[in-house]
Amino acid sequence: MSGYQVLVGLISLAAFIWVAYEVWGVNKRISNGAKVIWTIAALFFSIITAVVYYLVEKRK
């Protein structure tokens, strides 16, 4: 693995952990169904989901 792949992997892992923590631990106003959708999206598209989550949910 090259250094670039490791860096992208670590950023993806951090983005997934941040979204999961925000959704399940911090954000109490969204439904459980929405939490599951955010978590699955973060699992597959972690960096993009983190950006979208920040723009949609954190700015409310």
Residue-range definition of the domain harbouring residue 9: 3-58
In the prediction, which pLDDT does 1 show?
75
Number of domains the chain is built from: 1
In the prediction, which pLDDT does 58 show?
76
- Tokens encoding 16: 């997934």
Q: How many residues does the chain have?
A: 60
In the prediction, which pLDDT does 57 show?
87
Instruction: Give the residue ranges of the chain where pLDDT is below 70.
Output: 60
In the prediction, which pLDDT does 15 show?
97
In the prediction, which pLDDT does 60 show?
67
Does residue 19 contact residue 38 with C-beta atoms inside 8 Å? Answer: yes
The reported pTM is 0.88
In the prediction, which pLDDT does 55 show?
94
- What amino acid occupies position 4? Y
